[in-house]
Amino acid sequence: MIVGIPKEIKDNEKRVSLTPFGAQELMKSGNTVFVENNAGLGSGFSNNQYIKSGAIILDSPEDIFSKSDIIIKVKEPQSEEIKYIKENQIIFTFFHFAASNELTHQMIDTGATCLAYETVQNNNGTLPILIPMSEVAGRMSVQNGAKCLEGNMGGKGKLLGGVPGVDASTVTILGGGIVGTNAAKLAAGLGAKVYILDINMDRLRYLDDIMPANVQTMYSNYHNISDLLRYTDLLIGSVLVVGSKAPTLVNKNMLKNMNFGSVIVDVAVDQGGCVESCKPTTHNEPTYIVDDIVHYCVSNMPGSVPHTSTLALTNITLPYIETLSNYGLKNSLLNDQSLLKGLNIHQGRICHQGVAKSFDLNYHDSLSLFS
């Protein structure tokens, strides 16, 4: 197959979807890899490195899209890219369709096949491609939240871990998945008092066993969240419902429970957010204030550490890309149930129940489309 790697054009997105090593591995199987000019520069990979790997550099995104059978990206196609997408072309990237009715219908209209990183799912329920980016985002939520707590950022001027004789900050984390677990580890390591909430009791028992003494697990419900907000300095939203919009756990009225200068970091904002007052922001203007509460809602947090993120992403996506490029779409999906779950749209039809439910669209069983 011909694999195309376009340069990411979403605001402040410096990641690239494949490293030179990844390109080299695809070439070993007889595939052709086209890389857009300077696509890897933001992640620390030069054109020359890709050329040495055997890839071919093309000058424009139009060239990449027009000549490729499969397009590998990091973020969802932007409007400037969608016009280049061809019918039956495979697009493999983070889509987060449930957060955008417009994007969903735009991709339906292209007639392309959309495989979403975030819904590729193993039989045990884990999301292998989402995991590395969730690990990065979870750690960065604490890193950025701690910065926002500083007085010059509009925060209440508290050090996350305090100092001897001065109390530490309180961090409340909504969701005990990969993002929440990594956030709790980092916050606890910095000396904060941490509460992590979830509705899965088995997960809470597991977290209770592995976390240090300054991490407290609690069942997630309206009462517990409302009570914790009264003394929370940093609130981190990390709720995920696979393929669907994140549930709203903190409404605007609940912000009144939080003290002046508290901080909210909603990692779930790319899935619609679990805090009602949160809206997507960019790395250029990452924060805004609502009711004296600092909001940090950057939807592509891992994009600010592109070298680490690109390496972590390629580590997990490369085997799937190799399968698709070596065996084709139909054989790949029929022989890999986890990849089949990544199929969201095929030839104008919705193939993921979460996406269909989000916009009241007809759902088509994936297997029936390839039988």
Residues carrying an active site annotation: 96, 270
Alpha carbon of 131 to those of 77, 264, 305, 312: distances in Å? Answer: 21, 22, 16, 9
- DSSP conformation letters of 334-348: HH-HHHHTTEEEETT
Sheet bearing 349-350, strands edge to edge: 56-58, 32-36, 2-5, 70-72, 90-93, 113-116, 343-346, 349-350
Q: Tokens representing 104? A: 């969903």
Pairing state of beta strands 287-290 and 263-266? unpaired
CA trace torsion 314, 319, 322, 328 (10° rounding): -120
DSSP, collapsed to helix, strand or coil, labels residue 202 as helix
How big is the CA angle at 46 (ends 45 and 47), to the nearest 5 degrees? Answer: 130
CA nearest to 354, candidates 99, 28, 52: 99
Q: Tokens representing 248? A: 């709203």
- The gap between the terminal CA atoms of the chain, to the nearest Å, is 22
Number of other CB atoms surrounding residue 220 within 10 Å? 18
| φ, ψ (nearest 5 deg) of residue 342 | -80, -10
State how far the Cα of 160 lies from the Cα of 146, in Å rounded to an integer. 6
Beta bridge partners of 32: 2
Using an 8 Å Cβ cutoff, are 15 and 43 in contact? yes
Sign of CA dihedral 163, 208, 173, 262: negative
> Residue type at 78?
Q
